[in-house]
């Protein structure tokens, strides 16, 4: 555990963390590398309010126990505490810049609570745009369309001790073949070891 908590951010030869006013730089990074981290987008008071909205819409009775997790789909629609995010202009300015328009459709939203000890999530992409298969469920439909347009907020901070998000640079292009020693799954939404067997996962 001690070694795990000492994990450092990778030393990359490009800038991938940006302030809210570095719009052109963040969009260039996103286009080339497939991700960008924008820091200090939300003020502490709004973060606290959104945390409360996550509990109100996802675990209102505080019934989740250690090792458990819960996802609330259509979270933005769960109440005004969630809706306020879309009314916060500094965030919306970034959003409009990255998608290139001031017109927006919320295809889906979700809030996730993971209690300490809950199971990790396997490597996957939330986008179905590279798959040529017919949609098999609602996620296959809702995770298509204009990309990149997905945004996640780690309201408790994305840190190793929290099991925070990890991304693979360059994995956003159609001809990406996966990490060395791995094969892509048939739907190109995950990968598995070359000497292993593909398992079907849906996210």
pLDDT of residue 145: 65
pLDDT digits (tens, 9 = 90+) for 165-176: 788 888 888 888
pLDDT digits (tens, 9 = 90+) for 26-48: 999 999 998 898 989 999 999 99
pLDDT of residue 4: 35
Residues 75 and 128 in one domain: no
Overall average pLDDT of the 165-192 stretch = 86
Please state the φ and ψ torsions of residue 144, each to the nearest 5 degrees: -110, 180
Distance CA 72, CA 27 (A): 29
Helix (H), strand (E) at residue 183: strand 182-184
Question: C-alpha angle 118/77/46, rounded to 5°?
Answer: 70
Tokens of 180: 């060395």
Which stretch, 9-18, 19-28, 70-79, 189-198, has highest mean pLDDT?
Answer: 19-28
Query: Using CA atoms in the order 195, 196, 202, 203, what is the torsion angle rounded to 10 degrees?
Result: -70
Average pLDDT, the chain: 83
pLDDT over 70, % of the chain: 87
Residues 190 and 99 in one domain: no
Radius of gyration of the chain (CA): 18
pLDDT digits (tens, 9 = 90+) for 125-166: 877 777 777 888 777 777 776 555 677 788 887 676 776 778
Residues 128 and 96 in one domain: no
Q: Which domain holds residue 163?
A: 2-121+153-172
Residues 60 and 104 in one domain: yes
Residues 49 and 73 in one domain: yes
pLDDT of residue 51: 93
**Is 16:72 a contact under the CB 8 Å cutoff?**
no
Integer angstrom CA distances of residue 22 from 25, 29, 88, 96, 177: 6, 11, 18, 14, 31
Residues 115 and 96 in one domain: yes
Number of domains, the chain: 2
Residues 97 and 114 in one domain: yes
pLDDT digits (tens, 9 = 90+) for 109-129: 889 999 988 888 888 887 777
Tokens of 122: 């396997």
Residues 6+ apart with CB under 8 A from 36: 16, 18, 26, 27, 29, 30
pLDDT of residue 14: 92
Residues 178 and 167 in one domain: no
pTM, two decimals, is 0.77
Residues 129 and 105 in one domain: no
pLDDT of residue 16: 93
């Amino acid at each position: 555990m001690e070694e795990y908590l000492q994990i450092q951010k990778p030393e990359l030869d490009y800038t991938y963390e940006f302030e809210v006013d570095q719009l052109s730089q963040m969009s260039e990074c996103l286009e080339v590398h497939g991700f960008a981290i924008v820091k200090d987008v939300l003020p502490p008071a709004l973060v606290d309010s959104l945390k409360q909205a996550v509990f109100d819409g996802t675990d209102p009775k505080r019934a989740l126990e250690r090792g458990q997790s819960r996802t609330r789909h259509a979270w933005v629609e769960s109440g005004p505490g969630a809706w306020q995010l879309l009314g916060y202009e500094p965030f919306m300015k970034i959003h409009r810049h990255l998608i290139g328009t001031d017109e927006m459709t919320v295809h889906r939203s979700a809030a996730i609570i993971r209690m300490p000890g809950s199971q990790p999530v396997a490597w996957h992409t939330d986008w179905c745009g590279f798959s040529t298969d017919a949609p098999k469920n609602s996620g296959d439909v809702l995770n298509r369309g204009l990309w990149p347009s997905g945004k996640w907020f780690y309201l408790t901070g994305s840190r190793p001790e929290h099991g925070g998000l990890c991304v693979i640079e360059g994995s956003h292009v159609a001809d990406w073949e996966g990490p060395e020693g791995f094969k892509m799954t048939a739907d190109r939404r995950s990968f598995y070891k070359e000497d292993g067997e593909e398992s079907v996962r849906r996210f």
